[in-house]
Structure 1
């Protein structure tokens, strides 16, 4: 038996401390400031998914849930207050603890990992892990601190000063370090959009997306006038993207950079 076969067998071997995922749901992913969920609070999205999670696991008594971990970066007060409110609002009992996790772009993954670790070590038996964010409502000054101790601004440690570097410049630095040129980025982005478009057309996302019924502002000049809408699909997928069309877009962060509005995340 090869090492690969032995490893596979070991992974598939059932164990008392196995972590079992009962449900994996999400809201549609929409564009910031322009998308279908631009006027929706991040904790509203969280409550919607948590409620759907309970509905998707009817044989699970909500009182069995012992902990909820939610990743978030930009939410007011770290999301701790509104996130807890959303958890209770969705029907999770107050006997379940709640915490938020901030590890930048991997916050949601860190939250899920934290729950999995707690289950694997026997700290809890049942938990929920996920994430919430609204780039429309909570970006701006919360992305990069505007008030800093002078000692940090002038720190002799370059890595310390670089912590407030924008993610766009970080992306450019990483691309340069590992030799990922503009053409490679455009080609990868085009393939990504085409694969996502096919997956949507084939209905592969339907089992994981929870439709969100919310209110949206139709006219920015009349913010108090809203309309109820139901958003059920991602709106950032561009099926017509090609390497050639993406190559026409201007770099967003450096004159000779590779990151553009077309090949970057949104």
Structure 2
């Protein structure tokens, strides 16, 4: 990939569904971050807006968010959907188009290439579980319409519920209940320590008076988590404590042709068997490592979306990556998982650690998605 940099990176606090952001739509949350980014950038250099979203009202959430934020009418916007990978996939697509420099990028991806020197593309993801509309299958004959919780990720015979899939994946890879609870407790411990130390302060845009992530629980232990029952199948190992929450939030980065910032060295998406969707990030990570020639040992900061402790641990084991190296300041088990925004949250976390806190040179963010997909980016800090 030619020179494409993440020059700025911000997010909202992550709220628990039905709490702090219960009355804010996905577009409202996205607009809050976009507005702050536009305050920091020359208005005439914003050339496109690309946002991922899973469960919003449809239409073009990115356009609504951009206009709500006061971005000029002539700046286009597009919404992308790769389910939980949407926020990171938006960055992948926009970075590829931006790198193309106007030689077919827009036609290949539907994203403006923003080739102007010094121009910015604002890219990320938004999600409001609190205000997601109810959806119904149309009635058949005289029957009532049937409400459904989510759209299909794959054909019905290969479309397991995410919690059950995570439980079966943990069993398949020999991930014990004890190991899952220890990992989840560590995520909260790390996030609580990072929150107290102010590690999240520079990346968070306060919204509605909320300035911190709601879900983090300092003092949560593996012993306390061990008391929780399995929730997805009898005799299972996945519980409410070693699973992510249901959350609201938004995260956006500004892509530019010039640094300083995080240079996007590689970005990739990949597919796996949809019955094991949690492994989707593995081939995506392998692709970005292969594209750059870097090894696992050379990556300083690893950010995986922690949808389920067992799922992250299985991915680490397959990759040969020590799990203690992942999410050094806590992950989605503690912070929360605002579906379409989560991949972009990972990119913001890379920026904070590699640029703001100067904690290394290379970083990888990766996320799995329903339907057996995954997306990853590999970045280099250029200060």
After superposing the two structures, state which structure 1 stretch, 244-253 or 17-26, moved more. Answer: 17-26
Does 2:224 match 1:200?
Answer: no
Does 2:165 match 1:186?
Answer: no
How far residue 56 of structure 1 moved from its aligned partner, in angstroms, is 2.7
Distance 1:178 1:100 in 2: 35
Which ranges of structure 1 fall in alignment gaps of 5 or more residues? 1-14, 150-158, 214-229
Q: Deviations over 1:4-29 (max 9, x none)?
A: xxxxxxxxxxx9x3112121000001
1:7-46 pair list within 5 angstroms: 17-33=2-18, 35-46=19-30
How far residue 86 of structure 1 moved from its aligned partner, in angstroms, is 1.9
> Alignment partner for residue 105 of structure 1, among 54, 66, 84?
84
Does 2:66 match 1:87?
Answer: yes
How far residue 166 of structure 1 moved from its aligned partner, in angstroms, is 1.5
* Higher relative contact order, chain-length normalized (CA < 8 Å, sep 6+): 2
Does 2:114 match 1:124?
Answer: yes
After superposing the two structures, state which structure 1 stretch, 105-114 or 35-44, moved more. Answer: 35-44
Per the alignment, residue 294 of structure 2 pairs with none
CA-based RMSD: 2.1
Does 2:43 match 1:62?
Answer: yes
Distance 1:130 1:97 in 2: 15
Distance 2:75 2:127 in 1: 22
How far residue 163 of structure 1 moved from its aligned partner, in angstroms, is 4.9
Distance 2:239 2:63 in 1: 37
Q: Number of residues paired by the alignment?
A: 217
Q: Say which one has the larger Rg.
A: 1
Q: Deviations over 1:85-128 (max 9, x none)?
A: 22022122222221111111110001111111111111323211
How far residue 148 of structure 1 moved from its aligned partner, in angstroms, is 10
Mapped contact 1:63–1:95 kept (Cα < 8 A) = no
Distance 2:132 2:183 in 1: 29
CA spacing shift, 1:146–1:178, aligned 2, 3 Å:
farther
How far residue 139 of structure 1 moved from its aligned partner, in angstroms, is 6.7
Mapped contact 2:49–2:62 kept (Cα < 8 A) = no
Per the alignment, residue 133 of structure 1 pairs with 127
> Alignment partner for residue 93 of structure 2, among 96, 108, 114?
114
Aligned residue for 2:15, secondary structure, equals coil
Does 2:234 match 1:244?
Answer: no
Per the alignment, residue 47 of structure 1 pairs with 31
Structure with higher helix content: 1
Distance 2:44 2:172 in 1: 50
How far residue 70 of structure 1 moved from its aligned partner, in angstroms, is 0.4
CA spacing shift, 1:180–1:146, aligned 2, 3 Å:
farther
Scaled by the length of structure 1, the TM-score of the pair is 0.76
Does 2:55 match 1:74?
Answer: yes
